[in-house]
Structure 1
Amino acid sequence: MPAPRQRSVLITGCTDGSAGAALALAFHAAGLRVYATAREPARAAGLAAAGVEVLTLDVLSGASIAACAAAVAAAGDGALDILVNNAGEQGVMPVADADLARARRTFELNVWAPVAVAQAFLPLLLRAPAPLLANHTSLAAVVALPFQGVYAASKAALAALSGALRLELRALGVRVVELRSGGVRTGILRAARLDAPPLPAASALAPARPLVDAALRQDALAARGIPADAWARAVAADLLRPAPPRVVRRGESAWLDLLLPYLPAWLVDKLAADAVGFAPIEAAIRDDRAKKLKAH
């Protein structure tokens, strides 16, 4: 009797310490052939040391995407069972102060890159008996936190595209799943906090600058979220089910989106504001505005 076919999965954005790296290890432990990809493979050395295959993939480069797809097509039986679009970036800044060039790059990375990767790997998915495409969005796709407007908008766009893809590819046998994650503690998030840009000098929110800068560093969110390995084990188990759910909700407060339609708008706003410690920022800005109006 021939040996059972080994299933395969390709994951984008697998730098060591990231959610993608944790997911690669979880699939590897489950016995799948894992293609963990990173723009700089040297930054995924931990995965390579664990026996995971690491491939070069810059999701913003069409040539790099094509080369990676060709490499996977030439490996194994040329089929890909699961594609996980995980690569992305967060970025924090008030929408009124957002650098539009950087905002467009966020959309390129969080929205159009997953589309490009899905297009390139679709022929390989169609060679698999039960292919699955998973796009990693966020709870932010349905409830935007202050200072995360651009990020939330990009994830909402990817969620909408995932919904369309789910219907469009259904007749081809491709399941499309949205990974709508809540809080997950990763090394990438900790690094992003250190790289958070300060509030621009001319910002209308400058009267609360120390508080806003702390929010941009996501100080209130630093200790929140479940461990990345726990999130990854749960997500891998969800995706390996014979009939995975259309939306996978894992991570701290990931279930919250199920309640949102039943909550009053003021409470949704309060939950979003409280998540980043926005109340003292708002109070400081209101006080400064009242003083300026009184002075006039």
Structure 2
Amino acid sequence: MSKVILVTGASSGIGKSIATFLQEKGYTVFGTSRNPKNQENFSFELIALDVLKVDTIRKAVDYIVKKEGRLDVLINNAGMGITGPIEDTPTDEMRAVFNTNLFGAVDVMKTVLPQMRKQNSGFILNVTSIAGYMGLPFRGLYSATKGALELVTEATSMEVKSFGIKVVNVAPGDFATNIAAGRYHTPVFENSAYKEMYQSNLDLMDSHVSGGMDPIEMAKTVYKIINTNNPKIHYKVGGFMEKFSIVLKRILPDKMYQKILMNHYKL
């Protein structure tokens, strides 16, 4: 029987690559978008789901279960970026990114879990970020949301294990996607104490994304993970230095690690 898979945030970027790859592998894939259109551009069925609106999450999950009779895998990918100095970033925008990246992802998990418990099987894969392992300058809020989702994943994996449900996360590094266009960018204010530092770091972030890995690498990794009988809880996908930076944080004194980051970001 073909696994039934739900991929949130599948209209572009990493989500679209994952959904397309899994569809090509013979799975029954449903991707989501807040405003699905141009279905002809997708090899999988694209349905409406906004992680900020629980009623749309329930409607999407109910549609899949009614149509297919089951839901085997959730790829919790929908999210947004945010940049800016902590001092300059509007608190409402901080709340908005937490609502999307953390609480939105949690609400999708909460909605699929009853069906997975009923089946006594299921697989939830939360897409986090290598940025979630460290507080990056001018991306502190994004790092915080993804780090929080990593910890929620750890807790949930223990809570649902007895129901035959596996919960893991995969943390990508920089990938060549349109994520920069979808970020909330705190403006570079003329009177900001961070004006020059922030602008140079914005340019650096964009260059990292444009020079990032092909999203197909994420899709291949997700395929391997969901076909692993005894998966790990944490996976990382990125360049050597991106993954090695996590190791360095574990073994180096805090201030030494901070100095390395500051040198990298020219602070």
C-alpha displacement of 1:114 = 0.9
**Counterpart Cα distance in 2 of 1:242 and 1:31:** 19
Is 1:213 equivalent to 2:204 in the alignment? no
Partner of 2:5: 9
Is 1:187 equivalent to 2:178 in the alignment? yes
Partner of 2:247: 258
Partner of 2:258: 269
1:15/1:44 contact within 8 Å kept: no
- CA deviation profile, 1:115-144 (whole Å, cap 9, x unmatched): 111111112222445311111111111112
- CA deviation profile, 1:224-247 (whole Å, cap 9, x unmatched): 321111221122212222222211
Report the TM-score when normalising by structure 1: 0.82
Partner of 2:162: 171
Partner of 1:286: none
Deviates more, 1:35-44 or 1:135-144: 35-44
Partner of 1:204: 193
Is 1:23 equivalent to 2:18 in the alignment? yes
1:197/1:216 contact within 8 Å kept: no
Partner of 1:233: 220
Q: Which runs of 5+ in 2 are unaligned?
A: none
Identity of aligned residues (%): 27
Report the TM-score when normalising by structure 2: 0.91
**Counterpart Cα distance in 2 of 1:67 and 1:6:** 22
- CA deviation profile, 1:134-179 (whole Å, cap 9, x unmatched): 1111111111211001111111111111111011111111111011
Give the SS at the match of 2:185: coil
1:144/1:272 contact within 8 Å kept: no
**Counterpart Cα distance in 2 of 1:270 and 1:224:** 24
C-alpha displacement of 1:186 = 1.1
Partner of 2:54: 62
**Counterpart Cα distance in 2 of 1:31 and 1:68:** 21
Q: Which has the higher contact order (CA 8 A, sep 6+)?
A: 2
> In the superposition, relative to structure 1, how do residues 240 and 258 fare at CA in structure 2: closer, same or farther (>3 Å)?
farther
Is 1:34 equivalent to 2:29 in the alignment? yes
Partner of 1:80: 71
C-alpha displacement of 1:204 = 2.0
C-alpha displacement of 1:221 = 1.8
Aligned residues: 264
Is 1:71 equivalent to 2:63 in the alignment? yes
C-alpha displacement of 1:254 = 3.2
- CA deviation profile, 1:65-122 (whole Å, cap 9, x unmatched): 111111011011x211111111111110011111111110000001101111111111
C-alpha displacement of 1:10 = 0.4
Give the SS at the match of 1:96: coil
1:110/1:155 contact within 8 Å kept: yes
* 1:93-104 paired onto structure 2 within 5 Å: 93-104=84-95
2:168/2:233 contact within 8 Å kept: yes
**Counterpart Cα distance in 1 of 2:36 and 2:67:** 18
Q: Which has the larger radius of gyration?
A: 1
